[in-house]
Every structure is written in structure tokens, then in C-alpha cells.
Structure 1
Amino acid sequence: MSAVPIQPAHSVLLASTPARWFEVACERWRELLVDHANCEKKAASTALSLIFSYPEDMALTDKLSRLAREELRHFEQVQKLMQELSVPFARMQPSRYAEGLRSAINRSEPARLLDLLLCGALIEARSCERFEGLGPLLSEPLRGFYTGLAVSEARHQSLYLRLAEQRAGDIDWRARLQQLATIEAELATSPDPQFRFHSGLPAS
């Protein structure tokens, strides 16, 4: 079984983010920054949840422990930027994106773990793609920050893919990835009444 190398941002995504999303993101970058902080917390929480759910898999928990720490560092960096740019914290309703993916996850093992890892890869891939697209469109300090984060997200995507491949067993993980990627692409590109870091095409 060959290891999954570090993948480019678009390698697992079946659709690109609409140009309109990037236009709105540049106009509403303050809201984006607040939601980004929430996304980093969620990313750390996801890694920790997997650690608690599968403590017997020490190879998994070792990798995800490091990932959780890195996600929390990113959260701290976003908070620092919010302070520097005078962006106040605001409570935001969750987007449909995470819930849409979560609803597709199998409830029985080992398919459940595989789906969780594949969804993690898709989320990191979408984050990477949007960071890459946003970087050149924004001014500093966001330009440099998002450009740097794109590299981290690509690495996280590949980590989740490697973990999924190693635990797939008899399940065709590539076929399952395609199924989940189809759902992800619809969520990331279809009209969306909310504007979030992982939202679809802004409806307004």
C-alpha cells in the first residue's frame, strides 16, 4: 500500500470555490476573520474528539495531538490579528457546511472512523484552496498570514488522507472519498444564505 504524499489544494476537491465567494470575502473580511477563529477552534476540537474516541490507536492519537496543538496556535494567531485590526468577537451561528458533511458520516465502525478522517481531509483541502485564493486579494497582514496558512492546510489534508488510507482495511477509501467529495462540492458551491469561511455561493 503506497503512502499518500502531500497533495495540492485541489487534489481531492471536485469543484472550485466560486469567484463571487472571494469577492464577498474581501468585502466582509471582518466577518471572515471572526468565523476563521471559530474554524480553528473546531479543527482543534475535531482532532481532540478523535483522540478521545479512539485512544487505543496510539499512532492516530500521536499525530492528532500534534495537529490539535497546531490548530490552537492558529487560533491564537487569529485572535491576535483580530485585536490588531480592531475586529471584535461575535457569536455566529454554525454554517451548513460542517453539518452537511457530518450527516453523511457512517455510524458503524470501521466505516465511521474512515469517514471522519476523509471529511477532515476535505475540510482542510477547502480551507487550503480558499487561503490560496484569498492571499493575493487581501492587504497585509492578512495576505501573508493566509498565504502561510495554505501550506499548513495542505499538510493537514495529506495527514488525514494518510491516516484514512492506513485504517481503511477492506473499504475502498478512494471511492468513499469521491462520494463525500461530491457532497462537499455541493455545500461549497451552491447558493447559501449565510456567509462563512466554508459557506457556499453567497445568495445576496
Structure 2
Amino acid sequence: MSTEELLTPIMSFLKCETPQEWIDEAIKPENLDILLIDHLICELKAAQSAMFLIRKYAVDKTSGSALLDWLQPFEKLIYKREGDWRELAAKNKLTKSVIPKSDSPYGQDLIDKMVMLIKEELHHFYQVLEMMDHYGVEYKSITPCRYAKGMLTHVKTHEPDTLIDKLICGAYIEARSCERFAKVAPHVDKRLGDFYISLLRSEARHYQDYLALAQSISPKDITDKVEYFGRVEADLISSDDTDFKFHSGKPV
């Protein structure tokens, strides 16, 4: 499938395109460090978010502990600067089977989709580390972008709406990531551009997985909710932003 074919449903889902001003900023050589570091953190956050959903809504304590063990080496590298990043590829596996709670009506579906997503996100985390190594980019702590928090502040505080809203937010974050990979890829060197297109190919269906899960859990049609979060997301992307990051708004 061509890049255009992959992007068509994504672009019809998103309510706006990335502003040209963000692309102009993203392709400046001096911003490569921040782009890659923030992208690295985004991959880990995506895995953490998916894991939180499984642990909160779908599995018992034993399975939850096995999931935490899977994530631990990746988190240690970022938060404690412990371990060798080159060893992470071999550690990207779940060592125990994850069993859904008996009282979780959508547990198995949530587990199946999110475990696959976590595995992919952690693989991409490792690939971003490879890119950072190639370009001589050193990891350093950076402040979080306003984007995810700006979405999550609109999440309802009662169930099942909390879970449904978080899944819809996840869909928009995944779709926007794909759109940005496609926007940046033609303007950077071939190695990085090819990498972004490979990510677009592997992540293009993630937003649909999130939406399908949200609809299967919701007792009513989620179209209005999806529209609402789409407007929130578009505002965050198209409004002025003083902080340049992978998901930031229009640079000021």
C-alpha cells in the first residue's frame, strides 16, 4: 500500500493538517535532537498508556506484575539512566501469559490489541535509540509537551466514559503521529525519512484499533465523542505554541 493510501483515512479522521510553520521548524538541523528525544519519549509513553489500560481494566494482579516487568528495562533506561540500550531489543517480550479478569466483559480484546501495540511501541523505542546513536544525539531530560495533557483534561471522570475517552484520545495521538511522520519524511535525509515512513506503515492501523475498542466498550454510538475530541486535538495542533516538540502546535 502506498503512503498516500495509508494517509487517506488518517487525514479524513484528523480535523486539520499540521501547520507549515511546524514543518519548517521540525526540519531545521538544530532541532533534530529535540525531535528525536521527544519522539523516543512518545514511544515509551504510548506503551505505558496501553499498559495502564490493561492493568486497570483487564487483568488480575499477577498478570499486572508481569506487564510491569516487561516495561521495567525501558523505563530504567529513561528515568534512571540504567542499562545498555543495545540490550533492549532482546528484552521486548512478555514472559508470562496475561489472563483477563473473570468479570471484565471486554478484557481479552483489550489485552490482545494493547499487548500487540506495546510490543510495537517498544520496538520503535529501540529503533529511535538506534537513530539517536547514528546521529550522535545524547538523551537528556526534557519537559513534556502540552498536547497529551491538553487532550486528557477533557476525559470524563466516570466509567465507562473514562476508558472510552482515553481510547479516543489514544486514537488521535496515534493518527497525528502518523501524519507528522509523513510530513517530515520528505525533508530529512534518506535514513531518517525511510525510518519515518516505516513507522507510518506499522502504526497506521493503531488509531483504528483504539476506535474499534472504544466503540465495542461503549453502550452507545461514539461519533459525537470522536468529533468533540477531534476539535480539541485540532485546536492544540493549530494554535500558537511556545514549546517545540513532536506533537506541539504552531511555533511562535
TM (normalized to structure 1)?
0.93
Partner of 1:9, secondary structure, is: helix
Deviations 1:69-125 (A, max 9, x none): 110000000001101110010111011101101100011011111101100100011
Superposed CA offset, 1:156-186 (max 9, x none): 111111111211212x311100001100001
User: Which residue is equivalent to 2:200?
Assistant: 150
Name the SS of the counterpart of 1:8 in structure 2. Answer: helix
Letter in 1 for 2:26: A
The residue aligned with 2:22 is 21
Distance in 2 of aligned mates of 1:49 and 1:64: 10
SS at the partner of 1:141?
helix
Partner Cα distance (1:54, 1:11) in 2: 30
Question: What is the percentage of aligned positions where both structures have the same residue?
Answer: 41
Tell me whether 1:67 sits opposite 2:117 in the alignment.
yes
Residues 51-84 of structure 1, C-alpha deviations (whole Å, 9 max, x = no match): 0111131211121011101100000000011011
1:175 aligns with 2:224: yes
Write the distance in 2 (CA, Å) between the matches of 1:71 and 1:99.
20
Given that 1:54 and 1:61 are in contact with CA atoms closer than 8 Å, whether structure 2 keeps it comes out as no
Cross-structure match for 2:94:
none
- Code of the residue aligned with 1:21 in structure 2: it is W
Task: Say which structure, 1 or 2, has more relative contact order (CA 8 Å, 6+ apart).
Answer: 1
Equivalent residue, structure 2, for 1:52: 55
Q: Is residue 91 of structure 2 the alignment partner of residue 41 of structure 1?
A: no
Counterpart for residue 186 of structure 1: 235
State the 1:140 CA deviation: 2.2
| Counterpart residue identity of residue 44, structure 1 | A
Tell me, which stretches of 5 or more residues in structure 1 are unaligned?
A: 1-5
Which aligned pairs between 1:115-126 and structure 2 lie closer than 5 A? Answer: 115-126=165-176
Query: Larger C-alpha radius of gyration, 1 or 2?
Result: 2
Given that 1:8 and 1:154 are in contact with CA atoms closer than 8 Å, whether structure 2 keeps it comes out as no
- Tell me which of 140, 164, 169 is aligned to 1:90: 140
**1:141 matched to which residue of 2?**
191
Read off the aligned partner of 1:123 and give its amino acid letter: I
Runs of 4 or more, structure 1, over 4 Å off, are none
- Give me the CA root mean square deviation: 1.2
Q: Distance between the aligned counterparts of 2:242 and 2:164, measured in 1?
A: 31
Separation in 2, partners of 1:181, 1:174: 10
Matched, 1:201 2:201: no
Letter in 2 for 1:179: Y
Q: What is the aligned residue count? A: 197
